[in-house]
Amino acid sequence: MRILVTGGAGFIGSHIVAALLQHPDVSLVRVIDNLATGSLQNLEEFKDNARFEFFEADIRNYQSCLQACEGIDRITHQAALGSVPRSINDPLTTNEVNITGTLNIFTAAKEKGIKRIVYAASSSTYGDHPGLPKVEDKIGKPLSPYAVTKYVNELYAKVYGELYGLELIGLRYFNIFGPKQNPNGPYAAVIPLFAEAIINEEQPVINGDGEHSRDFTYVDNAVQANLLALFTEKEKAVNQIYNIACGEQTTLNQLFEGLRKEAGIQLQPAYGPERAGDVKHSLADISKAKEYLGYSVKVTISEGLQYTYRWYKAQRETGR
């Protein structure tokens, strides 16, 4: 099979590329990425692999999407502008990338006869629904422009599946973390920020009182879900949406404490104002992904925090 990975130079996308290049049934992995938030450094290890292709282009350009889809069998669509705060500050660009870009990929796939697309959805879609754990068919009102865009992706996927016979599988990620996640910039995720602060022995700032909780999920679990969704032959598994998480709640205070213990240093966080658009608590019910896809939690949060901290520390030591 020839697989297209949109956003393949990004954090999650590059991990998916690595797994696909090791898959015995994959003959080509093509990446389309405009490098706005992704990095060529994430693809460095693949550049001499004869089964790897890189196409620098923007999914907001429909012709580029058509080119990228040429000769492709299946797509894993990871390209997006993440971050709730970014979407609040710049809703127009978030909309263009996440809605127009996704619609371009879905339509190009239809035109090129590509039957299956696995796409990155988001736990932000649950919005203000108070229920815990989060179950796929119970959502609330979105709390940010980012959440709106990810919900619209799901709506388009449902329509394209029904109208054009495509097989679309949405993976609602819950706070994915791990190596290659960028700690720099104003919209960096919390775990790389904590890791960098601890390595530098600088006091990190926690938004709110630190009791916000999330279902933090190590990146290998998200990669596993993508491969299961790409290659499943179960008819009932397609045209579905799945929570991809660990099924565990961890507060920001617990998260920091886990990283601090791994580093073996005494350091206390500072506390700042809560972020606009943030959900207070999040926890996934992962039973549907287990039943339909055969998904399981391969790496726990405590193991993932160890691997992640050690990776950032090694990066620092090698000067990368």
Q: What are the domain boundaries of the chain? A: 2-177+218-246+285-297
As a whole number of Å, the end-to-end CA separation of the chain is 34
What pLDDT does 93 receive? 98
Mutual orientation of helices 301-317 and 252-263 as an angle, nearest 10°? 50
What pLDDT does 289 receive? 98
- Among residues 203, 200, 213, 214, the alpha carbon closest in space to that of 272 is found at 203
What pLDDT does 258 receive? 93
What is the C-alpha to C-alpha distance for residues 74 and 44, in angstroms, rounded to an integer?
A: 23
Three-state DSSP state, 254: helix
DSSP notation for 39-70: -GGGGGGGTT-TTEEEEE--TTSHHHHHHHHT
DSSP code at position 274: P
In tens digits, the chain (320 residues) has pLDDT values of: 999 999 999 999 999 999 999 999 999 999 999 999 999 999 999 999 999 999 999 999 999 999 999 999 999 999 999 999 999 999 999 999 999 999 999 999 999 999 999 999 999 999 999 999 999 999 999 999 999 999 999 999 999 999 999 999 999 999 999 999 998 877 778 999 999 999 999 999 998 999 999 999 999 999 999 999 999 999 999 999 999 999 999 999 999 999 999 999 999 999 999 888 777 899 999 999 999 999 999 999 999 999 999 999 999 888 76
What pLDDT does 320 receive? 67
What pLDDT does 20 receive? 98
The backbone region for 97, taken as left when phi is positive above 0, alpha when psi lies in -120 to 50, beta otherwise, is alpha
What is the C-alpha to C-alpha distance for residues 218 and 305, in angstroms, rounded to an integer?
A: 8
Do residues 273 and 207 lie in contact, with contact meaning Cβ atoms separated by under 8 Å?
Answer: yes
Q: In the numeric block, which tokens belong to residue 300?
A: 């726990």
CATH architecture, domain defined by 2-177+218-246+285-297:
3-Layer(aba) Sandwich (3.40)
Q: What residues are labeled active site?
A: 146
